[in-house]
Amino acid sequence: MSITPVKEPVLPKAQAEAIIKLLRKGERIDGRGLLDYRPISVYLNPIEKADGSSHVILGTTQVITGVKIELGEPFADRPDEGVLQVHAEFVPLASQTFEPGPPDENSIEVARVVDRSLREPKAIDFKQLVVAPGKKVWVVFNDIYLIDHGGNIVDASMLSSMLALATAKIPYYEEKEPGVYVVDNKRHVSSLPVNTLVATVTMGVHEDIIVVDPSIEEEVVLNTFLTIAVDEKGRVCGIQKKGIAGISRKTLEQAVEIALKQGGFLIDLIRKILNNPSDYMKPLETNQY
Amino acid sequence: MEAVSSKPRLLREDGTRLDGRRLDELRPVKIRVGVLKNANGSALVEYGGTKVLAAVFGPREALPRHIALPDRATLRVRYHMAPFSTSERKSPAPSRREIELSKVIREALESVVFSEQFPRTSIDIFIEVLQADGGTRTAGLTAASIALADAGIPMKDLVIGVAVGKIEGNLALDINELEDEYGEADLPVGIAPNIGEILLLQLNGVLTPEELKAGIELAWRGVESIYKVAKEALYAKYIKAFEEVK
């Protein structure tokens, strides 16, 4: 059952009013323009035991995504395709408002939005992940781990997932006897095949003002959010409206335009990172404040 | 390529859909109001083969007490599919999909209900999909908003849902299960037509920006038709009650 939540953390009223007042003037409390992302830092392969991993820092939000690739069975209705599973964990160390326990509606929503945004434009080439049609395929587990919540979890999760998947390697396997497979996940043979890069652009909406990449303070004050996923061809490959207020048709059209532009910026960033991955291989260390 | 060849055609030679509809045509919409005795408000909504029942209890004491809000009513929404509603039996335990849809339906209803008139109470909305044939979240949203109206809860507007899909390259209104499964996109939309706001919006699939805009237009026209049926169903119940009193 979904229950109206209490908005947390509670902001001082003066700060909440200041955020709105500035938005009306086209300004933000952290000095960004309305359409700007916060600084983004990326580290590839922080977790050597995963088949692919990345650590993304977006402003003060930090996400680690680990990809594990295992042999498993295909879905009965898709015998000639590999399987993708996306999960998100909002662990209690990430925020004073998170409690331990099974995934709540917010983490399920993030995981499902990332899942759909990857699945629908066929970001991963599942046809190439078949070992024995109808019997054995590669199952790709994409686990999103939020370790510090500073707002806009979706875009950080999507960026981190895309980078972890695009750098993931398929483990080596042998068929010892017919139908018996042995996987050696210390050896890797090929990269996970990627068809297209995808990015999500999350925007907060106040009346007809749109702000890209809302910080946690802005998330508490704003009531409506739109996440729009775009692929390399400039197509819209996923939308999720969140929050308790509505939007007009005109605002939606503006948001799509902004998403195409800023999504292009994020995809260029991902491409730049993937072209020179060794520049981004650094030991795991979290942001210093 | 086997999967592609086994995919059924969704459009006939003359451009109509497999169930005989035009691309911009709704399935038959049936709405009945006040179908349950215990609930404060209820509605049964059918979009073709999709049948959804919604019931509203409240405003009532918010329990457990910690969910109560000092300045407004708490909305609690559960979207749930009956085990017999799908071709293969669905486990009655809530799935990740049902948890997500409960959230987006709740959020779509939050801004039309004048919840600040009922602080510290809860308004509970239960949606049961009895038979699923595509568009269950949107039919569920429609049913929930009509049940809220039937319960006499003050609202800015009804919220009417409808899904637009893309089948064989064409946008199609109110897609059924087959069109959802084999189509290229599913765009569920919830609209409050009188205040002109989009309250629920998801996209599962790939669309160009132009297709997205056209899809919203198509959904809007569909919503306006369903809105008329909803209003007639609400009037029918209250005119009948009024005449009985007379």
What whole-number distance in Å separates Cα of residue A172 and Cα of residue A164? 18
User: CA of B172: how far to CAs of A278, B88, B169, B183, B214, in Å?
Assistant: 47, 26, 9, 10, 10
CA distance B34 to chain A (A): 23
CA distance A224 to chain B (A): 9
Q: Is the pLDDT of residue B245 over 90?
A: no
Beta carbon pairs, A and B, within 8 Å = 121
Q: Which of B77, B200, B95 is nearest to B138 (CA)?
A: B200
pLDDT (mean) for B209-231: 98
What whole-number distance in Å separates Cα of residue A89 and Cα of residue A160? 14
Q: Is the pLDDT of residue B154 over 90?
A: yes
Least reliable range by pLDDT among A6-10, A218-222, B71-75, B128-132: A6-10
Q: Classify residue B194 as exposed, middle or buried by CB count within 10 Å of its CB (0-12, 13-18, 19+).
A: exposed
Q: Which of B74, B105, B202 sits opposite A239 (nearest CB)?
A: B202
Tens of pLDDT, residues A93-127: 999 999 999 999 999 999 999 999 999 999 999 99
User: CA of A58: how far to CAs of A23, A36, A160, A268, B76, in Å?
Assistant: 21, 12, 10, 16, 33
CB contact under 8 A, B97 and A112: yes
Q: Is the pLDDT of residue B4 over 70?
A: no
B29: confidence class by pLDDT, cuts 50, 70, 90: very high
A287: confidence class by pLDDT, cuts 50, 70, 90: low
Q: Is the pLDDT of residue B89 over 50?
A: yes
Radius of gyration in angstroms for the set of CA atoms belonging to chain B, rounded to a whole number? 19
B139 within 8 A of B47, measured Cβ to Cβ: yes
pLDDT (mean) for B96-109: 98
CB contact under 8 A, B110 and A6: no
Q: Is the pLDDT of residue B18 over 60?
A: yes
Task: Collect contacts of A172-179 with beta carbons under 8 A, ≥24 apart.
Answer: A173/A71, A173/A131, A179/A132, A179/A135
CA distance B22 to chain A (A): 25
Amino acid B3: pLDDT: 47
Quick one: residue B205, left, alpha or beta (phi over 0 = left, psi -120 to 50 = alpha)?
left
Amino acid A289: pLDDT: 52
What whole-number distance in Å separates Cα of residue A229 and Cα of residue A3? 27
Domain ranges of chain A: 23-277
More confident residue, A59 or A287: A59
ipTM above 0.90, yes or no: yes
Q: Is the pLDDT of residue B176 over 50?
A: yes
CB contact under 8 A, B209 and A236: yes
A157: confidence class by pLDDT, cuts 50, 70, 90: very high
Tens of pLDDT, residues A201-228: 999 999 999 999 999 999 999 999 999 9
pLDDT (mean) for A61-77: 96
What does pLDDT average to over chain B?
95
CB contact under 8 A, A236 and B204: no
Tens of pLDDT, residues A254-282: 999 999 999 999 999 999 999 998 888 87
Quick one: residue A38, left, alpha or beta (phi over 0 = left, psi -120 to 50 = alpha)?
beta
| Residues of chain A that touch chain B, judged by Cβ-Cβ distance less than 8 Å | 1-4, 6, 78, 80-81, 103, 105-106, 108-109, 111-112, 116, 120-121, 223, 226, 231, 234-249, 252-253, 256-257, 260
Amino acid B7: pLDDT: 79
Q: Is the pLDDT of residue B1 over 80?
A: no
pLDDT (mean) for A152-166: 98
Amino acid A154: pLDDT: 98
Q: CATH for A23-277?
A: 3.30.230.70
CA distance B188 to chain A (A): 10
Q: What percent of chain A has pLDDT over 90?
A: 90
User: CA of B50: how far to CAs of B87, B104, B109, B139, B190, in Å?
Assistant: 13, 19, 21, 8, 17
The tokens for B190 are 């919830």
What whole-number distance in Å separates Cα of residue A3 and Cα of residue A1? 6
Q: List the single residue in A with minimal CA-CA distance to B99.
A: A105
Q: Is the pLDDT of residue B133 over 80?
A: yes
Q: Which of A2, A108, A206 is nearest to B105 (CA)?
A: A2
State the amino acid at position B122 in one-letter form.
Answer: S
CB contact under 8 A, B195 and A6: no
Q: Which residues of A touch B115 (CB under 8 A)?
A: 4
- B1, B103, B123, B186: which to substitute to probe chain A, counting the most A Cβ within 10 Å? B103
Q: Which of A78, A81, A105 sits opposite B99 (nearest CB)?
A: A105
Q: Which of A2, A106, A226 sits opposite B106 (nearest CB)?
A: A2
B240: confidence class by pLDDT, cuts 50, 70, 90: confident
CB contact under 8 A, A238 and B107: no
pTM, two decimal places:
0.95
Amino acid B112: pLDDT: 97
Tens of pLDDT, residues A169-192: 999 999 999 889 999 988 888 999
Q: Is the pLDDT of residue A166 over 60?
A: yes
CB contact under 8 A, A249 and B220: yes
The tokens for B123 are 């308004």
One-letter-per-residue 3-state SS of chain B: CHHHHHCCCCECCCCCECCCCCCCCCCCEEEEECCCCCCCEEEEEEECCEEEEEEEEEEEECCCHHHCCCCCCEEEEEEEECCCCCCCCCCCCCCHHHHHHHHHHHHHHHCCECHHHCCCEEEEEEEEEEECCCCHHHHHHHHHHHHHHHCCCCECCCCEEEEEEEECCEEEECCCHHHHHHCCEEEEEEEECCCCEEEEEEEEECECHHHHHHHHHHHHHHHHHHHHHHHHHHHHHHHHHHHHHC
What whole-number distance in Å separates Cα of residue A106 and Cα of residue A86? 14
Q: List the single residue in B with minimal CA-CA distance to A234.
A: B208
pLDDT (mean) for B31-36: 97
User: CA of B127: how far to CAs of B7, B77, B100, B112, B170, in Å?
Assistant: 32, 8, 14, 18, 31
What whole-number distance in Å separates Cα of residue B80 and Cα of residue B98? 6
Q: Which residues of A touch B206 (CB under 8 A)?
A: 120-121, 231, 235-237
- DSSP string across chain A: -EEPPPPSSPPPHHHHHHHHHHHHTT--TTS--TTPPPPEEEEE---TTSSEEEEEEETTEEEEEEEEEEEEPPPTT-TTS-EEEEEEEE-GGG-TT--SSS--HHHHHHHHHHHHHHHTTT-B-GGGGEEETTTEEEEEEEEEEEEE--S-HHHHHHHHHHHHHHT-EEEEEEEEETTEEEEEEEEEEEEPPBS--EEEEEEEEETTEEEES--HHHHHH--EEEEEEEETTS-EEEEEEEESS-B-HHHHHHHHHHHHHHHHHHHHHHHHHHHSGGGG-----PPP-
Q: Is the pLDDT of residue B63 over 60?
A: yes
